[in-house]
Amino acid sequence: MKKLIIAGLSMIQLTAFGQTSNKFVVTGRYGNFHTPAKAYLEYQMNGRSILDSAVLVGGRFKFTGKASSTPVPAELIFDTTGVDRTKSLEQRTVYLEPGIITFRMTGATVLDAQITGTPTNNDYTDYNNVVNAAYEDFSGEDKMILNGKMPPESTPGYEAKMEKFRKRYSDATLHANIKFVKSHPASALSLQLFREIAYEQPYDLVMPIFQGLSPKIKDSKEGKNMAEKLEKLRVTALGQPAPDFRIPDTAGKIVNLSSFRGKYVLLDFWASWCGPCRAENPHLVKTYNKYKDQNFTIVGVSLDKANSRALWLGAIKSDGLPWLQLSDLKFWDGIAVKTYGVQAIPQNFLIDPNGIIIGRTLMGKALDARLSEIFDAAGKVN
């Protein structure tokens, strides 16, 4: 699990504010290997796929090249056989940017290596250290899961254990991300991590964190873009009136969201091409059937395109979705999508009878718990 989060972030194209093109040098030592052992540097730059290699001499290696105007993620791969790098698990992301980048082993595998010497690599290494420290308090069982040693599904209480682990993992990662961003306000990586924080947390939590970023980061093109998205998050924050919109249903009839005032509404953003959305649909059907007679409904908004209307209608039928479905078939440019600042799907907003947003991003058990809190506590469902 730890490997997954690090690998995911390694694909981010970080912007270097104010950097100019120059030379990069990647140097270091991997064990004490000699020929035929090799190190490889694999990356894409200016539309070209580049693979460079170096024979290890006492484990030492060195790569040089022309750096781009922005940091470029590359895979540093070590193959002790020198025959097939594709089978090697010893690989680590390094960011190619002007300067001398140093690789230093500090543990048994490259995952424990420190990569330093240039701004982005320093920040990325700092981030990995913060994340690893956050996981240190995990139990032995948690650490086994974290390292990919999952318990068999036949283990007693498997689902409950995994659910609790996912919660601890999510909380620890969130706290690590916030800690890094606050301690590295001038880092381009902080802005990328902030995006992960912003779309999953309350507006009142994320806005002060954004305000704490350096003026240079906030005034960058990416920073200004983030500020615009934050304004949309503010508009759809918990406690805010749900913004109205007008889009057609499956028959082409224009429907106003505000026409559902007086009901609890789960505004569900999805698409026929979205695997996680389709996987969530069976649970939504059960939820709808449970509460449909208790002043509750679901309104679906699809992000399908105009040329995939048939796929949209087919998905509705195939998944057995009985509630109202809307879409202007404009993909990510749909009016409802833009109004609600939707950045990923599935995404949803729970709206109360007064038209106030009282929940967002409620999936699976989180949705069950919130609706139970509303209806069961009021004695409306037996």
Q: Same domain, yes or no, for 283 and 341?
A: yes
Mean pLDDT by 10 residues, the chain (382 residues): 42 45 90 94 93 96 92 93 86 93 89 90 92 88 77 79 84 93 93 84 89 95 90 88 96 96 97 95 96 96 96 96 97 95 92 95 91 77 44
Angle (CA) 29 76 40, round 5°: 85
Q: What pLDDT is stored for residue 183 in this prediction?
A: 95
Query: What single letter denotes the amino acid at residue 178?
Result: I
- CATH code of 65's domain: 2.60.40.1120
Q: Same domain, yes or no, for 162 and 111?
A: no
Check residue 244 and give left, alpha or beta (phi > 0: left; psi -120 to 50: alpha).
beta
Q: Same domain, yes or no, for 14 and 95?
A: yes
Q: Same domain, yes or no, for 354 and 250?
A: yes
Q: Same domain, yes or no, for 324 and 256?
A: yes
Residue 1 lies in a domain: no
Residue 241 lies in a domain: no
Residue 382 lies in a domain: no
Q: Which residues pair with 301 in a beta bridge?
A: 269, 326
Range of the domain at 44: 7-121
Closest CA to 287 of 375, 180, 215: 375
Q: Same domain, yes or no, for 225 and 305?
A: no
Alpha-carbon gap, residue 363 to 346, rounded angstroms: 9
Q: Same domain, yes or no, for 285 and 361?
A: yes
Domain count, the chain: 3
Q: Which residues pair with 325 in a beta bridge?
A: 300
Q: Phi and psi for 238 in degrees, rounded to 5? A: -60, 135
Determine the 3-state secondary structure of 18 from DSSP.
coil
Q: Same domain, yes or no, for 95 and 145?
A: no
Q: Same domain, yes or no, for 348 and 264?
A: yes
Among 64, 94, 121, give the residue marking a domain's end: 121
Q: Same domain, yes or no, for 70 and 92?
A: yes
Residue 130 lies in a domain: no
pTM over cut 0.75: no
Query: What single letter denotes the amino acid at residue 214?
Result: S
Output the six-digit token pair for 23.
């030379």
Q: Contact at 8 Å (CB) between 180 and 193? A: yes
Residue 359 lies in a domain: yes
Alpha-carbon gap, residue 315 to 359, rounded angstroms: 26
Q: Same domain, yes or no, for 36 and 59?
A: yes
Residue 131 lies in a domain: no
Residue 2 lies in a domain: no
Output the six-digit token pair for 61.
């290696």
For the chain, what's the residue count? 382
Residue 253 lies in a domain: yes
